[in-house]
Structure 1
Amino acid sequence: MIDNHILAPVFVQLFTAIAQLMFWRKTVTQRFLSVGGSIIGLLVAIRLFSRTQSEGILTMNAANWDAPFGIVFVADTLSVTLVLLTSIAGVAVSIFSSVSLSRQRMLYGYFPIFHFLIMGLYGAFLTGDIFNLYVYFEVIIISSFVLMTLGGRKAQLEGAVKYMAMNILASMFFLTGIGILYGITGSLNMADVAMKIQLVQNKTLVGITSCFFIIGFGIKSAVFPLYYWLPSSYHTPPSAVAATFGGLLTKVGIYAMIRVLSLIFIPDDFTKTLLMVIAVLTIVTGAFGALIKTNVRRLFSYLIVCHIGFMVGGIAMFTKVALMGTVFYLIHDIVVKTTMFLIAGLIRQLRGTLEMEKLGGLYRDYPKVSLLIAVVLFSLVGIPPLSGFWPKIFLFQDSFSQQQYFFAAALLFGSFVTLFVIARMWSKVFWKNPPEEENVEDRFAPMQPYKKLLMLLPIAFLCGVTLYIGLNAEAIVNVTDKISNQLIDNSSYIKAVLGEKTN
């Protein structure tokens, strides 16, 4: 069904960013515009999600050019679910940013760039054109690079160089793959390409092209052995920026991998084996990295890598149950990882450091806040019936039915390591007494009550979302079931985009 409101989320973020540019020196105004624009974006995303649930896949042809000749935007269940989750994370980060960032960073253009980044994420999820996906990826990369370097500290610049270098490499592989794909199909519309690539006789060239996409998306997703840029860079920017990166940016790579492999390069045995090897090694290396880290944000960075492997393994099996587990874990991971980095920012504001050896006594001093954080930590670990538990059931079930025992073992190993490192973190940060030789109150200026409240509000909001996902798992399963059906049988997507041209 054609709906011209598909791009409403993109335009909300675009106009919010432009409005903030008009108030460059007025940071208070920018804060209100940011929070207001994020809330409007969330409401628009809820409406779009509701429309797709009631009316099916929605499309919009830019400038009224019919597909495949014009740029098309597609809102299916997967894309609108990720738009909704991005909007939820965006509201939380926007509120957190308004009180956690210094005015100096705001004067460098933090809020406009933040909304350009969210705009790029929306566009990447909604586009039905493979080159347009590349364009939105570049919007994301440029915006994220600026956010990472705001403030100009040495550690930030070093992390930003590693981040930018690897993402430029990913873009080169992605763009090369697009060029070859256009050469063999003569189209950039993903639905049209999905039909034409079946007629290509040179299957070896098709396989090589798919490897370009897998490498490009793999770098962006931080899979083995291309993940080193992530733990080297995600601990350097402010916590609000790290929350956006940790919760959303690597998931764009996972989304793109799912979209391209379900539409264009349907995985064969070689592709499945390659992805499974990558998944197992990503889980193992991410888990070992987390075991040796004593900085809270570095620990979370390696857990991102470890858990990306869970989702890649589900894509590798490429069955309905496995894809349900992958999408469910994707939903859970976006919310929880965003919350974890916001929690790290709160801890730093309360104690002035994120080194676990220098922390302690948080439960004694802030018992209610600690219990709120514990809910998020339990969800991250996957304690039943919280959100991290349910997708693992699907992944374990299919790994045994597909006889992928190495993946099942890696999944079990990654889960136990996550439990161990989070339990160790809880013990050192919350339960043990702070170091006696140093007064923790001297490390950082006391927080004003309103500031503490506004930092806790987004964490509590995301905690509520996490609880909803876990305790209302049946509704999430229904959504993931619908998504997996559309991914396994892509005919509904193709028909929605091309209409009668599919006949």
Structure 2
Amino acid sequence: MAVDATAVDLTRAMVTAPTRLADLLIVAPVALPLIGGALSLFLRNLPRLQPVIAIVVLALLVACEAALLSRVLAEGPLTMMMGRWLPPFGIAFTVDALGAVLALTAGVAGLAVAVYSATDVTVGDRRFGFYPLLLLLVTGVSGAFCTGDLFNLYVWFEVLLIASFGLIVLGGEPRQLDGAVKYGVLNLIATTLFLITTGALYGLVGTLNMADITARVAALPEGGAITTIAMLFLLAFAMKAAAFPLGFWLPASYHTPKIIVGAIFAGLLTKVGVYALIRVLAMLMPGERLMLADVITWVAALTLLVPALAALAESEIRRTLGWVVIAGIGNMLAGLALGSEAGYAGAIAYAVHSMLAMTAIYLTLGLTERIAGTSSLHQAGGIWRASPLVAALFLIMVLSASGLPPFSGFWPKAMLVRAALSADAGWIAAAILVSGFLVTLALGRVFLFAVWRDAPEGRPAAGTAGIVGPLVGVGLAAAIAVLGVLPQPLVAVASEGARGLIDPAGYLSSVFPEARP
């Protein structure tokens, strides 16, 4: 039989096996909100339909992400190659326990914001694109958690950054524009630095696939260019995560947009920066993380303590919460600094808690602002008389954000303190505990002044919280309480994610099922 000399052996360049339907779960965290955002944009002249689209899409997203997490825990890391190109040449979506649990938590936070927004976002804001921008933001966050390609991590950062620019200026008030400038300039500098450093890493190892980078960096000699690259990544992602001393943009900008925008920002955006820092330094460059451990430790300690002190000095509740967000970043950086499985597990568990708790406390603050008409400590008050339910919700959020039992913030902090003591790093444990104490004082002060005391004379609490907002608050409070009372599932998932960072063999074999030639 004659042989066709023009035949091409596609098995040498492409995945020839048919894609299983179950594998579509790997791209669902990106595909669903992206399609929903496009649909919402096409139907922008139907403002009543906008929240329905967002809620349905995000509910489907949460269901798919829950199924994806379940499958990852059962089978290990999962990979899908875009365009069916063989790795490392194609763009990989690789989901492990760390990425899956953070994507699921981001979906829950996004769904809570979408439901809350149904009665909070005006018709004008709907027409100006609130819902397409919200779904695009969730797309970028989910893509960052699920990508297995370093350059596409940068791309997803850009996607969420573009969406956040649109959300932060929605309404066009002067203070929003001022906050957008501060937010935009610092984040664009960080993104540019990230891109430059990614180019330098590509020039050194010749690949952008995270699994391939992990293997190639391990074969490099210690020191030299790779250490410089690791330091630049630390600088870029620390700026994204609002770590000390690069985080002053956050309290200067997060208090300016609408409270619902502040909620999704506080819950998700800085966590993407921390995730990128953990993924790159803990998995891709563990040797360089060890060399930078002292620097990361000092950054973590100062990020824990300085914002907590600053929160005590604020008289504007939104700015106080901005500092609390940054203090929470310090806990996650402490886990990265420890570099142990227990430390990483504590950081992952704290990230899940923070995404829920920060979203919840901002949304609850929105309810108090509806009632009191202000977020100033000097003018707010009387919330408990006007709405005991909102007052109770705010107290739950304060206790959770402070890391007190029986809510979700207690166990991640306990894990981090135990990991620090086991590593003979008592002063890190002390910094975590002191920061928690200061945050408790700052948030307790907010509760006593804005919620518990009577309203100042001449300014009675006369607004109403509505029905939908408190229901969302009850749902988030229930989730926070369940994670506090039954922490075992969260601890188990966080521990699995930590093991994947310490030993990425499963991650690598997911991308390269057969040994690379």
1:464 and 2:478 are equivalent in the alignment: yes
Q: TM-score, normalised by structure 2?
A: 0.93
Q: Is 1:100 equivalent to 2:114 in the alignment?
A: no
Structure 2 residue aligned with 1:176 = 196
- Per-residue CA shift, 1:15-40, capped at 9, x if unaligned? 11111112112110111111111111
- 8 Å contact from structure 2 (residues 25, 65) kept in 1: no
Answer whether contact 2:381 2:452 (CA < 8 A) is retained: yes
> Is the deviation greater in 113-122 or in 377-386?
377-386
Match of 1:73 in 2: 93
Once the two structures are TM-superposed, the CA of residue 270 in structure 1 deviates from its matched residue by 3.0
Q: Give, in angstroms, the shift of residue 275 of structure 1.
A: 0.4
**Secondary structure class of the residue paired with 1:396:** helix
The answer for the alignment partner of 1:114 in structure 2 is 134
1:213 corresponds to 2:241: no
**2:50 aligned to which of 30, 34, 44:** 30
Give the counterpart letter for 2:146 in structure 1: L
Which structure has more helix as a fraction of its residues?
1
Write the distance in 2 (CA, Å) between the matches of 1:66 and 1:4.
17
Which TM-score applies when normalising by structure 1? Answer: 0.96
- The aligned residue for residue 407 of structure 1 is 428
Question: Following TM superposition, by how much is the alpha carbon of 1:154 offset from its aligned partner in structure 2, in angstroms?
Answer: 0.7
Distance 1:30 1:368 in 2: 29
Among residues 305, 311, 315, which one is paired with 2:332 in the alignment? 311
User: Tell me, which stretches of 5 or more residues in structure 2 are unaligned?
Assistant: 1-18
C-alpha distance after superposition, 1:457-503 (max 9, x if no partner): 22111111111211111111111111111111111111111121358
The residue number in structure 1 matching 2:208 is 188
What is the CA–CA distance in structure 2 between the aligned matches of 1:487 and 1:197, rounded to whole Å?
15
Single out whichever of 94-103 and 395-404 deviates more from structure 2. Answer: 395-404
Work out whether 1:356 is the aligned partner of 2:365: no
| Residue 250 of structure 2 is aligned to residue 230 of structure 1 | yes
> What percent of counterpart residues are identical?
34
**In structure 2, C-alpha distance between the alignment counterparts of 1:289 and 1:228, rounded to whole Å:** 11
- 1:101 is paired with a residue whose SS is coil
Aligned length: 496
Q: What is the CA–CA distance in structure 2 between the aligned matches of 1:371 and 1:344, rounded to whole Å?
A: 12
How far, CA to CA, are the matches of 2:363 and 2:406 in structure 1? 23
Secondary structure class of the residue paired with 2:417: helix
Query: Which amino acid is the alignment partner of residue 345 of structure 1?
Result: G
Q: How does 1:259-338 map to 2 (within 5 A)?
A: 259-266=279-286, 267-338=288-359
2:233 partner letter: F
Unaligned ranges ≥5, structure 1: none
Q: Which amino acid aligns with 1:180?
A: A
- Rounded to whole Å, the distance in 2 between the matches of 1:402 and 1:9 is 37
Residue 488 of structure 1 is matched in structure 2 by 502
* Alpha-carbon separation, structure 1, partners of 2:53 and 2:459: 41
Amino acid at match of 2:499: N
Specify the SS of the correspondent of 2:119.
helix
Deviates more, 1:258-267 or 1:143-152: 258-267
Determine if the alignment matches structure 1 residue 388 to structure 2 residue 402.
no
Deviations 1:142-196 (A, max 9, x none): 1101100111111100110011100111011111110111001100001001111
Match of 1:12 in 2: 32
Q: Residues 495 and 502 of structure 1 are in contact (CA less than 8 Å); yes or no, is this contact kept in structure 2?
A: no
Deviation at 1:202, TM superposition (A): 6.6
Q: 1:99 to 1:268 in 2, by over 3 A?
A: closer
Q: Which moved more, 1:394-403 or 1:322-331?
A: 394-403
Aligned to 2:292, the other structure's residue is in SS state helix
- For the residues of structure 1 that align with 2:344 and 2:480, how far apart are their CA atoms? 20
Change (3 A) 1:26 1:55: same
**1:78 deviation in Å?**
0.7
Matches within 5 A, 1:238-277: 238-266=258-286, 267-277=288-298
CA distance in 1 between partners of 2:129 and 2:312 (Å):
37
User: In 1, Cα distance between the equivalents of 2:96 and 2:368?
Assistant: 38
- Aligned Cα root-mean-square deviation (Å): 1.5
Give the C-alpha shift of residue 369 in structure 1. Answer: 2.6
In structure 1, distance between residues paired with 2:468 and 2:459: 28
Match of 1:44 among 64, 75, 80: 64
- The answer as to 2:405 corresponding to 1:397 is no
Task: Give the whole-Å Cα distance in 1 for the aligned partners of 2:389 and 2:208.
Answer: 53
Opposite residue 481 of structure 2, the aligned amino acid is L
Do 1:275 and 1:312's aligned partners in 2 also have CA atoms closer than 8 Å?
yes
Q: Deviations over 1:372-399 (max 9, x none)?
A: 3322221112222321111111211122
Residues 1:431 and 2:445 aligned together: no
The answer to whether the aligner puts 1:86 opposite 2:106 as a matched pair is yes
Amino acid at match of 2:490: I
Aligned partners of 2:333, 2:174: CA distance in 1, in Å?
34
The amino acid across from 1:49 in the alignment is L
* CA shift for structure 1 position 268: 4.5
1:418 partner amino acid? V
